[in-house]
Amino acid sequence: MNDDDNIHRRHMKCPHCSGKSIIKYGRSGGEQAYYCRDCKKKFTKQKLKNKMYIPQVIISAITLYNLGNTLEESAKIVNRKFKVKVSKSSVHSWIKEFSNICNYGKLRPQVVKKYTGDIIHAFSFQHSGLTYNFLYHIPKIEILGSKYPLVVQYLRDMRNKCPSDIFKENERCSQIMVDVNIRRQKRYNQACKLAGLALKACTRNNERHNKVEEFMLINDSSTIAYEVPVWFWEKNLDLGICGHIDVLQVRQGKIFVLDYKPDACREKEDKVASQLYLYTSGLSFRTGLPLKMFRCAWFDEKVYYEFNPMESTVQMLK
């Protein structure tokens, strides 16, 4: 067994049970397969082409650097966490190699010059028995949100002004349907690339949502927040509606409301369009910004679907 495989197996976790008692177990679909002695299941590993280290090491190093650590500090933290010997030159090479995906690098010099300490604001909400971790990027909401002060204020006020009772008593956006006739645009874009790289660091399926959202917030140049609460009263339905926006972006002079869907191409268009339209209507209402300033989209690592809520025909369903 070569050193590369030793490194991979030593830090690999079973995607089914997170166990570490892993052995090589033939091949599956042309890929090296592994067997977990703890849960008795077989799997193949996520990998990055031509890389000595597992994806978690590389992605962690890039993320640590974009959180404001130096190259040397990022290498030290990764080495301590994963028990490896990554050099700061390796971290630098990864940052350069993945700069087309992790394009936060173009904002980083401005951020590290002005901001010290934590650059991520985090707060957890308990809504309908579930925990939602709401986060926003402090420098990015000030830099990218300078033209949208009402959005910035909305995010900053969330901790003290989000009415938890509304999320207990009213319908969630995912549980109610409006008939939305959209003209969607299908493509492969930056959101897909970010999701694809973030997913390389996942060891379990239930990590996907959080990993993609967190990775985009820290390493993307346009993502300003995730799991953003929204709520409003829909007079046509005589109903309170609430929900949480997966990813909020500012780019191209618009505010983008994104929903990460692991199998985006298989999602029912009417359902996901309804959910996104309600999210966006809620945010438009709460911030006082017209609907024409927003765009809606859902995506995974393979495809991105976008539509303009202003060009959509909407009929309320009771």
Q: What is the pTM of this model?
A: 0.83
Contact 170, 231 (CB under 8 A): yes
Same domain, 23 and 137: no
Least confident of 170-174, 186-190, 247-251: 170-174
Sort strands 239-251 and 223-234 into parallel, antiparallel or unpaired.
antiparallel
279 vs 241, more confident? 279
pLDDT at 182: 80
Identify the domain containing residue 217 by its residue range.
120-316
Per-residue DSSP letter, 146:
G
pLDDT-based confidence at residue 103 (cuts at 50, 70, 90) = very high
Q: CA geometry: angle at 219 spanning 214 and 222, to 5°?
A: 95
d(CA 275, CA 230): 12
With pLDDT > 90 as the criterion, what percentage of the chain qualifies? Answer: 55
Same domain, 26 and 124: no
Task: Establish if 60 belongs to a structural domain.
Answer: no
Task: Establish if 170 belongs to a structural domain.
Answer: yes
Task: Establish if 298 belongs to a structural domain.
Answer: yes
When pLDDT is averaged across residues 4-27 and rounded to a whole number, the result is 66
Task: Establish if 102 belongs to a structural domain.
Answer: no
d(CA 287, CA 215): 26
What tokens were used for 265? Answer: 């191409």
Contact 240, 134 (CB under 8 A): no
Same domain, 37 and 126: no
Task: Establish if 294 belongs to a structural domain.
Answer: yes
When pLDDT is averaged across residues 169-175 and rounded to a whole number, the result is 63
pLDDT-based confidence at residue 169 (cuts at 50, 70, 90) = low
When pLDDT is averaged across residues 150-154 and rounded to a whole number, the result is 96
pLDDT at 4: 42
Q: Is the pLDDT of residue 29 over 50?
A: no
What tokens were used for 27? Answer: 């091949």
Mean pLDDT of the chain: 86
Residues 30-58 have pLDDT tens digits of 456 788 888 888 776 656 766 778 899 99
Q: How many domains does the chain have?
A: 2
Sort strands 171-172 and 239-251 into parallel, antiparallel or unpaired.
parallel
Task: Establish if 290 belongs to a structural domain.
Answer: yes
Strand-pair partners of 314:
180
Residues 104-131 have pLDDT tens digits of 999 999 999 999 889 999 988 876 667 7
Count of all residues that appear for the chain in the document: 318
